[in-house]
Amino acid sequence: MFSFFKKKPQPEPAVAKEAVPQALPAAATSTAEEIVEPAPSSPEAKRSWLARLKSGLSKTSSNLTTLFIGAKIGDELYEELESALLVSDAGVEATQFLLDALKKKVKDEKLTEADQVRNALRELLIDLLRPLQKPLVLGRHQPLVMMIAGVNGAGKTTTIGKLAKHLQAHEQSVLLAAGDTFRAAAREQLTIWGERNNITVIAQESGDPAAVAFDAVHSAQARGTNVVMVDTAGRLPTQLHLMDELKKIKRVIAKAMDTAPHEVLLVIDGNTGQNALAQVKAFDDALGLTGLVVTKLDGTAKGGILAAIAKTRPVPLYFIGVGEKIDDLQAFDAEEFVDALLS
Ligand SMILES: Nc1nc2c(ncn2[C@@H]2O[C@H](COP(=O)(O)OP(=O)(O)O)[C@@H](O)[C@H]2O)c(=O)[nH]1
Ligand SMILES: [Mg+2]
């Protein structure tokens, strides 16, 4: 069963004034420590979302499925599979791992039909990706502070907007810190968007992102807000190194609330190929990532990058994005994803 967030009981649910167009789960009332699974989005919304994921991954998908049609099990099939995996951005390490595991499985289970091999690959891929599947647990702290990082254009601000609306739909009040001060207009845009959606946006004329984040956390503590999301820049106007700036923001957030930030998320564009893996490594080394969001899987993304991440730097993948609408951001589900890839 699909779930967007997991939620620990929250004593003071905020009322979302503008609900997202989907069935809202009832407020969680449960005993301590129980984890509540919110209701999934409507079946139509989910179907259209999966359709977009499938069509986004269709290039890889057709490579990975046609090669099994009428194929004999042998070196030729394995070579074709190797190329298809490499072309899908799975990277050398994950490709080799999958091939070795597949050959072993074929031998151990005495598989004789290409279709069985395809199923074996499906199982191996699901096993590889499942460790990335992890729900974002709400209500652990008040406020829950999330810092959102990523290169320019990755989809940070869009993702924050979608997440904010999902959070409101799950009875969470949200406050945003406009920490991307690279573009002058970005701050105003976010502020206007926040007004329309009943979300407070903390911004600052001076534009010091660490100070903005600090104010946002204090403000959320004073107001009893459930979640703070700190938007950050993917590029800087000065010569300052981006990673140094991000580390500073993280340090300053911890000064405002010593357990924070509780989540450090990296947003990556699913179309960046192997460079996405380099981004995960660099941001993780600098910031200690707690989660990922992979966007734009509706475009020309090949999907294999998830296998590369799972093999070399398995940071949990909380959400994937397949378009601009709110319902186009969904919790990552390994089985669902592999089926979209192999169908
Ligand atoms: N097709 C598609 N476009 C997306 C997705 N997520 C973000 N975008 C687009 O990517 C562009 C950059 O997004 P933005 O949030 O401004 O990136 P930022 O620089 O990281 O804040 C915008 O045009 C978004 O509409 C997605 O999942 N699918
Ligand atoms: Mg932005």
Among 10, 17, 33, 36, which residue's Cα sits nearest to residue 25? 36
Ligand 1 atom closest to the CA of 267, numbered from 1: 20
Query: Per-residue pLDDT for the chain (343 aa), expressed as one digit of tens each?
Result: 346 788 775 554 444 333 333 333 333 333 333 333 444 567 777 778 888 888 888 877 777 888 998 899 999 999 999 999 999 999 999 999 999 999 999 999 999 999 999 999 999 999 999 999 999 999 999 999 999 999 999 999 999 999 999 999 999 999 999 988 666 677 788 888 898 888 999 988 777 899 999 999 999 999 999 999 999 988 765 556 899 999 999 999 999 999 999 999 999 999 998 899 999 999 999 999 999 999 999 887 889 999 999 999 999 999 999 998 888 999 999 999 999 988 7
Residues with CB under 6 A from ligand 1: 150, 152-158, 234, 267, 295-296, 298-299, 321-324, 328
Contact 178, 213 (CB under 8 A): no
Phi, psi of 292 (to 5 degrees): -125, 155
Rounded distance from Cα 293 to ligand 1 centre (Å): 12
Pocket test for ligand 1, best of 151, 324, 325 (most atoms within 8 A of CB): 324
Q: Please state the atom number of ligand 1 nearest to the C-alpha of residue 154.
A: 20
Contact present, 268 and 297 (Cβ < 8 Å) = no
Which atom of ligand 1 is nearest to 150's Cα?
20
How far is the first Cα of the chain from the last one, in angstroms, to the nearest whole number? 20
Helices 305-312/91-108 angle, 10° precision? 90
Q: Diameter of the chain by CA atoms?
A: 68
